[in-house]
Structure formats: C-alpha cells, structure tokens
C-alpha cells in the first residue's frame, strides 16, 4: 500500500499510475463476466422483486402480510440496484449492448436515468477521497474548517442533512424521486436526453399504474419498498467511504490506490447479508477494479492476500459510523459534531 509523496511530480505521478494499472492487471482474471452467473443474479434480484410486488398488491386489504412483504421486496430491489450498478460499469455482461439495455430497464425500477447515473458514478470513482474534487456522485462532506466558517443557518442546514433521520428518511425521496428528475443547465446533451427520456418513461408507467390500481395502492406496492431500499442503499454508500480513518487527500497528493485500499471499506457481513447487498461490502476490491462483477468480488478478495489488510467494518461498526459528520484535516480523521464544535482532538470523547 503506498502513500502519495508530498510533491507528486511527473515521476511520482507516473509511479502511482503504474501501481493502479498493476492492481487492475492483478485483478483482471476476476473482471470476466459470466452469463450464467449474471442470469442467476437477475433471477435472484429483479425477478423476485417483481413477483413480490404482485403478491403485495394481491394481498392488500386481505392480510397484514402485504406490508411485511415490502421488506423482502426492498431487499431484492437493493440487489437489483447492484445489477444496475454493475451494468453502469459495463461489468455485468460481456455485451456492452446488454449492459446498457438492462441498465436502462432496471433504472426505471429505481427511478434513475442510467446514462446520467453512470456518468456521475464514474466521477465518484475518479475522485473518491479527493478533498479538492468533492461534489459529484458522493455524499456531501465538509471539513471542520469549512463547517466552522459557515454562517449559523448554513451550519444548521448541514447538521440537518447529516442527521440520520433526515439522511435515511428524507434522503431516499431526494435521491430517488427529486434529484434524478432535474437536468443541470451545463449537462451534456446525452445526459440531458437520459434524464428527460427516463422522466417521460416513468410518467407513462406511473400514470398507467395509478390509473389501473389507484395511487394509494401504488404507494404501498411500489413506492414504500423503493424508499426502504433507498435508505438501505444510502447507508451502504455511507459506510463504504465514511469511517473514522478513511483516506482523504488534496488533489496534488491524491492516490488512486490509497483511495481504494484506505478510503473504501471492507464491510464484513454474514452470508445472508452479503446476499442481500450483492457483495458490495467488498468495496475496496470494487474501487481497485470496477470491471469486476458483483458475483466475483468475494472470490477476488479471498484469493488476494494483499487485500485482507484493509479498513474492515462489522455491521455494528457501520451503524456507529453514522455519527461521523466532518473531516478533521488536523488529525486526518472523520469526526462527529461534538469534536468539531468543542475543538477536541478526534480521538477524544464523542
């Protein structure tokens, strides 16, 4: 594991790029799509989600089981998102056309424009852990200095945004229903078309469903499981890069390899939870080589001893990490508001 030198000149930059290429090449054997594994992933994600949605509708008004089925429906929608995510990297299928077709289709289940999301997520991979290039495809994070320099109202707004009740309650509404509907003025034509085409398709689909089953049933059958899945997704994205000693660096010293190995967590879960989350807990592997499909991530990790010495979080660690709000440049750690407010060292008090 390397650390970028203080003065990353042409030679140092070249060495860092070579190290990144070396990792990609070392993991290349796992970055080979398998159509049978891909088919199995679809059969255990999109298919059960659709079947459960039908079951929820048929049971509405007859049994409380209808609402309880919303929980597994949300889980299978999370797994469907992992397929969508892999398609955005072109890793799920060998065929570029198949990745794009399935990505656009599953994007409708997630209320998300595929091409725009793919672009923003690619930016995230290129800038994760870079203090100078925050803001696209990531979770908005301020440094302690930036936070303390804000006026009172802006600090209150940031506190609200980072409050777990807001982040995981209101966050999915913003992330799934509102944000993806907006087209930035400076967006490229393809990104603009992606958003507008998705919006039109969703308007037609939702309109027909509401006409056929009513808006109340639509909310219960499709929207509530989607929002629950969104909450799970936000938490997963949070713990992948928001842990106490996560790697952050200025652009001049930023290292792709360190961002992957020190800035992306290994969320160590049980077999059941690995299934539910589509192996995305092996996030350090994913950031080293984004062309590895989810069904190969665990094997890549297990068979590469050098990947075992990375930041590892348990489920409890991941839940506790939600207290972290700001990056303290003095200590190189993420801290909570108490430390920032009182000026306490990051390792003292909570």
- 349 assigned to some structural domain: no
Report the SS3 class of residue 346: coil
Rounded Cα gap, residues 139 and 124, in angstroms: 10
Confidence (pTM)? 0.89
Q: What is the pLDDT of residues 167-212, one digit of tens each?
A: 999 999 999 999 888 887 777 888 888 899 999 999 999 999 999 9
Q: What is the pLDDT of residues 216-231, one digit of tens each?
A: 999 999 999 999 999 9
pLDDT at 13: 55
In a domain, 240, yes or no: yes
Per-residue pLDDT tens digits for 249-262 = 998 888 888 999 99
Question: Do the domain assignments include residue 4?
Answer: no
What pLDDT does residue 15 have? 58
User: What are the mean pLDDT values of the chain's consecutive 10-residue runs (350 residues total)?
Assistant: 43 61 87 95 97 95 88 97 97 95 96 93 91 85 92 93 93 91 82 91 96 94 95 94 92 89 94 96 94 96 92 94 92 87 42
Residue 81 resides in a domain: yes
Decide if 287 is inside a domain: yes
d(CA 186, CA 218): 34
The mean pLDDT value of the chain amounts to 89
Report if residue 350 sits inside a domain.
no
- For the chain, the domain total comes to 1
pLDDT at 14: 59
What range does the domain containing 227 cover? 10-342
250 in a structural domain: yes
């Amino acid at each position: 594991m390397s650390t970028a030198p203080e003065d990353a000149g042409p030679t140092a930059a070249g060495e860092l790029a070579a190290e990144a290429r070396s990792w990609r090449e070392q993991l290349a054997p796992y970055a080979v799509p398998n159509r049978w594994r891909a088919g199995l992933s679809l059969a255990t994600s999109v298919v059960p989600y659709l079947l459960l949605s039908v079951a929820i509708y048929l049971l509405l008004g007859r049994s409380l089981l209808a609402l309880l089925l919303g929980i597994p429906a949300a889980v299978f929608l999370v797994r469907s998102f992992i397929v969508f995510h892999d398609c955005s990297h072109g890793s799920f299928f060998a065929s570029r056309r198949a990745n794009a077709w399935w990505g656009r289709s599953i994007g409708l289940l997630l209320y998300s424009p595929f091409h725009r999301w793919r672009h923003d997520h690619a930016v995230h991979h290129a800038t994760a852990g870079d203090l100078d290039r925050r803001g696209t495809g990531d979770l908005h994070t301020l440094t302690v200095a930036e936070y303390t320099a804000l006026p009172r109202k802006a600090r209150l707004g940031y506190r609200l945004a980072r409050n777990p009740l807001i982040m995981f309650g209101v966050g999915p509404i913003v992330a799934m229903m509102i944000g993806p509907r907006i087209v930035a003025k400076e967006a490229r034509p393809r990104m603009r078309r992606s958003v507008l085409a998705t919006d039109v398709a969703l308007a037609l689909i939702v309109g027909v469903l509401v006409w056929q089953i009513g808006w109340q049933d639509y909310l219960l059958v499709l929207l509530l499981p989607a929002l629950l899945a969104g909450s799970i997704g936000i938490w997963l994205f949070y713990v992948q890069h928001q842990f106490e000693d996560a790697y952050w660096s200025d652009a001049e010293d930023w290292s792709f390899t360190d961002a992957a190995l020190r800035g992306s967590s290994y969320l160590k879960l049980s077999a059941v939870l690995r299934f539910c989350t589509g192996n995305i807990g092996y996030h350090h592997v994913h950031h080293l080589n984004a062309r590895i499909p989810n069904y190969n991530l665990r094997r890549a990790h297990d068979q590469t001893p050098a990947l075992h010495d990375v930041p590892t979080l348990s489920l409890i660690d991941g839940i506790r990490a939600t207290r972290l709000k700001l990056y303290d440049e003095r200590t190189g750690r993420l801290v909570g508001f108490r430390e920032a407010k009182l000026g306490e060292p990051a390792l003292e008090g909570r």
